Amino acid sequence: MKILKVKDYEQLSEIAADLIAKQIKEKPTSVLGLATGSSPVGTYQKLAAMKLDFSNVLTFNLDEYCGLSNDNPQSYYFFMMENLFKHINIPKGNTHFPSENNCDKYDDQIARAGRVDLQLLGIGSNGHIGFNEPDQVFHNKTRVVELAQSTIEANARFFEKPGDVPKTAISMGIGTIMAAKKIILVADADKFDIIQKMMNPVVSPQLPASILHYHPDCTIIYVTTS
């Protein structure tokens, strides 16, 4: 695991975007795994500004809320369109999202694409990656998950009313995430405490991101508060 401490969110976004751009330039047919949430927004903005050729890139998103239509501003489909896809030349058919209807097929789609070349991750305040919440075991496959109360509370700020936050979501599994050839995890200053916990070499499904200690090519980029 490679650890990069950065001074601010701007630097975090620049480094992450440069690493993704390098991947696309070296392999124009790259398969990218993409995260949502506040941490990767700056990365996507910088990627869009680079005017890279995404015409042969395939993308697979980590997760999506259950029960939200694609045109709902809080759906992750809408998030990706607004923050990245409508600003680059990626064909719509090259972008993929998990749904309640394709959980069983999503991992197969990724496998047929030749595995994810580079997976971008954020991290939840409880250590989740994707929507793989703290649990007794690591779940390998894409599935519908019950969101932890801490996740629901953290995401309430994006919704008009706390009661509007979905209680379930679809998430790529830990096994699929770990099968990616490269992983980049980005974390802004508000995730400093959970990043410090994740650095502990003890791997436990109670802190899902700790599994990344076992990945052979994982880079953690985080804003330090010190």
Q: Which positions are annotated as active-site residues?
A: 63, 126, 128, 133
Exposure of 35 in the CB half-sphere (CA atoms within 13 A): 27
Tell me which residue of 54, 60, 64, 45 sits closest to 27, measured CA to CA: 54
Q: Is 214 exposed, middle or buried, given 0-12, 13-18 or 19+ CB atoms closer than 10 A?
A: exposed
CA-to-CA dists, residue 110 to 22, 95, 103, 214, 217, angstroms: 21, 11, 12, 21, 19
Q: Give CA–CA dist 175/177, Å, rounded.
A: 5
**Cα Rg, the chain, nearest whole Å:** 16
Angle at 188 between CA 205 and CA 57, to 5 degrees: 80
3-state SS, residue 96: strand
C-alpha neighbours within 13 Å on the C-beta side of residue 55? 2
**What does the block give as tokens for 202?**
């003890």
| The residue type at 52 | L
Lookup: tokens for 99: 């749904």
